[in-house]
Chain A
Amino acid sequence: MAAAAATAAAKGNGGGGGRAGAGDASGTRKKKGPGPLATAYLVIYNVVMTAGWLVIAVGLVRAYLAKGSYHSLYYSIEKPLKFFQTGALLEILHCAIGIVPSSVVLTSFQVMSRVFLIWAVTHSVKEVQSEDSVLLFVIAWTITEIIRYSFYTFSLLNHLPYLIKWARYTLFIVLYPMGVSGELLTIYAALPFVRQAGLYSISLPNKYNFSFDYHAFLILIMISYIPIFPQLYFHMIHQRRKILSHTEEHKKFE
């Protein structure tokens, strides 16, 4: 879901710029888009993020070559992964102040689910860090994010190579399920350790008359993938048909 999330940033250029300014406070014109300052900032933001995820990609490859195996590669890219994925929280702010025309709710959901997996599962439950499932979602996220942030960068500069657009709306077909599998397997692997340590859990009695079972919560999260993932996936398939066939038609007239 966290994997599905970022790719399904709904519209063609959710990263920003070029069209439909949701942030237009006066509400008189629809096609305003962010101003020149906001556009410059967003270009820098998206370039930095593209670079960050490239660093992670390179880090993975180098670690693989150095170790000779694909196990436990998480440790080699732990810091940049945490830094750049957490940095994506800024995207919620971008929607909130209107320089990006996406829904705050949808973006929050997407970013929070990623941040949740990084910090509340992988970071918090040290025992899962050596699991292969972690590599599965890290690879899926890395490829997705490199394409997504470069897509936004080029869109903002009004020069989007068809290859990037194609990649964004095609690779998800494999990357989504791959990422979701990695995420679910990681959460599942964390369960026994969470239960054993009583991680993030409170039990009765206590003076605020509240209890929380993190183990049960994680199971609920896993179950929530069942209704949510297909919706996001088929939304992207639908978007793909719309956006890629649209471009084909335009090409015919050139």
Chain B
Amino acid sequence: SKHPDPFHTLREVEILDAKTREKLCFLDKVEPHATIAEIKNLFTKTHPQWYPARQSLRLDPKGKSLKDEDILQKLPVGTTATLYFRDLGAQISWVTVFLTEYAGPLFIYLLFYFRVPFIYGHKYDFTSSRHTVVHLACICHSFHYVKRLLETLFVHRFSHGTMPLRNIFKNCTYYWGFAAWMAYYINHPLYTPPTYGAQQVKLALAIFVICQLGNFSIHMALRDLRPAGSKTRKIPYPTKNPFTWLFLLVSCPNYTYEVGSWIGFAIMTQCLPVALFSLVGFTQMTIWAKGKHRSYLKEFRDYPPLRMPIIPFLL
């Protein structure tokens, strides 16, 4: 009999539930060069409630998820491939989550700034603060979130399309909650301006502006690192833009600049809730930066040894 030609024979794919080992789907006449993405699409046809974004297919029930780009014939399987399926739960696109979580604070802060009724006493409804710093703070806060929204729409290139649906509730609670908490005090009729007056505000504003420019520069540099539609990963390096020179010392300067912006905002407003928000944000970003740093080290042998995850020389 003929030897099976692995490059041309059509394959069979059976999909089993990773937990119960129940046979969920059997696909025959699958092209050997089919990708996991295509197999997911075929699986959705028989189980429409499991759209591709919520499918995790793997070779081993407890193993890692296969990537959408993986090709069937390159996997260690025979002519009949057995894949295990795990439901990732309802998914929502990253873009949707980002837009929602950033639009909230922008809007909420303004509610407090304009002192809409039922927040402060009725005699303060729609009044305006007499402190310059309060107006400046509103501009900075609003600018920050408008920048984030625009970056989400036009700058960022996401390597994952979706995340679990419950994340949007968690994330929005965090962003919206803190925004309301901060805005309440900064725009309060009994707000106390910074102890060192205009000097303090000017210094804080400078820190804020520099860090916002820095953060934006890093986002642009990261975008240019990855061509549209690709999922390649490369080591980021400093460019001609001086703000990107921070790449010499840290893996995630975008987070460094972000923390810096919020420290600037905290000094500007001299408001403890802002400082607490900065601290919580710093903690979370440090965790992310350490993770990113670790993946860089794992993936690239020649990764610059001087770099720290988020704070030069320290953290």
Contacts and interface: CB of A to CB of B under 8 A. Distances in A.
Interface of A: 204-211
Interface stretch (B89-97, B212-220, B269-277): B269-277
A204 B273 contact: no
B271 A206 contact: no
Contacts of A209: 185-186, 188, 191-192, 269-273
B5 to A, nearest CB: 41
A206 B271 CA distance: 10
Given A209-B272, A210-B185, A210-B271, 17 more contacts: A204-B185, A204-B188, A204-B191, A205-B190, A206-B192, A207-B192, A207-B270, A208-B270, A208-B271, A209-B185, A209-B186, A209-B188, A209-B192, A209-B269, A209-B270, A209-B273, A210-B272
Contacts of B273: 209-210
Interface string B182-209: 0001101011100100000000000000
B192 A211 contact: no
B272 A208 contact: yes
Closest 4 CB pairs of A and B: A210-B272, A205-B190, A204-B190, A209-B271
A208 B185 CA distance: 9
B191 A207 contact: no
6 contacts: A204-B190, A206-B192, A207-B192, A207-B270, A209-B270, A210-B185
Contacts of B185: 204, 209-211
Main secondary structure of the interface of A (DSSP, over half): loop
Interface of B: 185-186, 188, 190-192, 195, 269-273
Main secondary structure of the interface of B (DSSP, over half): loop
A98 B188 CA distance: 46
A209 B273 CA distance: 8
| Residue of A205, A209, A211 with highest tally of chain B CB at under 10 A | A209
B128 to A, nearest CB: 18
A110 to B, nearest CB: 21
Nearest to B181: A210
Nearest to A208: B272
Contacts, number: 29
A205 B272 contact: no
Nearest to B269: A209
Contacts of A207: 192, 195, 270
Nearest to A203: B190
Contacts of A206: 192
Nearest to A210: B272
A207 B195 CA distance: 7
Contacts of A210: 185, 271-273
A204 B195 CA distance: 16
A26 to B, nearest CB: 16
A70 B180 CA distance: 47
Contact of A205 (B191, B195, B269): B191
A174 B272 CA distance: 43
Nearest to B275: A208
Contacts of B192: 205-207, 209
Contacts of A208: 270-272
A210 B185 CA distance: 7
A105 to B, nearest CB: 13
A246 B192 CA distance: 63
Contacts of B270: 207-209
A35 to B, nearest CB: 27
B173 to A, nearest CB: 13
Nearest to A206: B192
| Residue of A204, A206, A208, A211 with highest tally of chain B CB at under 10 A | A208
B233 to A, nearest CB: 24
B98 to A, nearest CB: 26
Contacts of B186: 209
A209 B181 CA distance: 11
Contacts of B272: 208-210
B11 to A, nearest CB: 35
Nearest to A202: B272
A200 to B, nearest CB: 15
A207 B270 CA distance: 7
Contacts of A211: 185
Nearest to A211: B185
A211 B272 CA distance: 9
A213 to B, nearest CB: 13
B141 to A, nearest CB: 14
Contacts of A204: 185, 188, 190-191
Contacts of B269: 209
A12 to B, nearest CB: 22
| Residue of B186, B269, B271 with highest tally of chain A CB at under 10 A | B271
A205 B270 CA distance: 13
Nearest to B191: A209
A210 B184 CA distance: 10
Contacts of B191: 204-205, 209
Contacts of A205: 190-192
A215 to B, nearest CB: 18
B243 to A, nearest CB: 31
A169 to B, nearest CB: 25
